[in-house]
Amino acid sequence: MPDWNYLAKDQTYGPVNTGQLQALLRTGTIPPETPVWREGMSDWAPANSLTDFRGAISRTSRLLQGSQDAQEDLQQNKVYAIIAYISILFVVGLVVAPQSRFARYHANQGLLLCLLGFLVGALASTLGFMPFVGKYAGKIGYALGLGCTILMILGIVNAARGECKELPLIGKYNLLK
């Protein structure tokens, strides 16, 4: 893999391989418009203009782009983002850090997960009273609850990594503006 150099805070860093540079972009450590260069290029180019890095530019980078203290926001509010996935605790980040785009993103994901958990519980309870299906309601509820637990773990891991990845199935919805 070619070795890349990149400019950050008026300093040149590198060489780093393509995977390392993609990881820096994916986590939002460096912004998408960071100038990059490798041997064979005539001049520096923004990372987001090169096909090697377009897929690596994360929602975190796009979400926090334009925020002067994006990395600081991410670091200061990571705990609120993590606990947002524990049932009703998604509210904590909204109350304690209302201006944090990072905490708000994860609070939205946590709200979606909380609503899904409520719907799963309501569905399992309702199915329990239905003839023929009632005897399977516990198993159905258990399976759906396990799915919610897996989504919760995925969300916590993403928040702990400082990433804004959508949860499968429910993450594309945005209830908090």
Characterise 121 by phi-psi region: left (phi > 0), alpha (psi -120 to 50), beta (else).
alpha
Interatomic CA distance for residues 74 and 92, integer angstroms: 16
Please write the tens of the pLDDT for every residue from 110-131.
999 999 999 999 988 888 888 8
Name the strand (E) or helix (H) holding 44.
Answer: none
pTM across the whole model: 0.66
Q: Please report, for residues 40, 44, 62, 165, the alpha-carbon distance to residue 59 in angstroms, rounded to integers and kept in the order given.
A: 30, 24, 5, 7
Please write the tens of the pLDDT for every residue from 120-170.
999 888 888 888 888 888 888 899 999 999 999 999 999 998 888 889 999
For residue 119, the one-letter residue type is L
Interatomic CA distance for residues 45 and 22, integer angstroms: 15
Please write the tens of the pLDDT for every residue from 63-121.
655 444 667 888 899 999 999 999 999 999 999 999 888 899 999 999 999 999 999 99
Interatomic CA distance for residues 45 and 161, integer angstroms: 27
CB 136, CB 116: distance < 8 Å: no
Q: Please report, for residues 15, 17, 43, 47, 76, the alpha-carbon distance to residue 37 in angstroms, rounded to integers and kept in the order given.
A: 10, 11, 7, 9, 32
84: nearest Cα among 150, 146, 159, 145: 159
Provide CATH code, domain 3-57.
Answer: 3.30.1490
Q: Where are the domains of the chain?
A: 3-57, 72-161
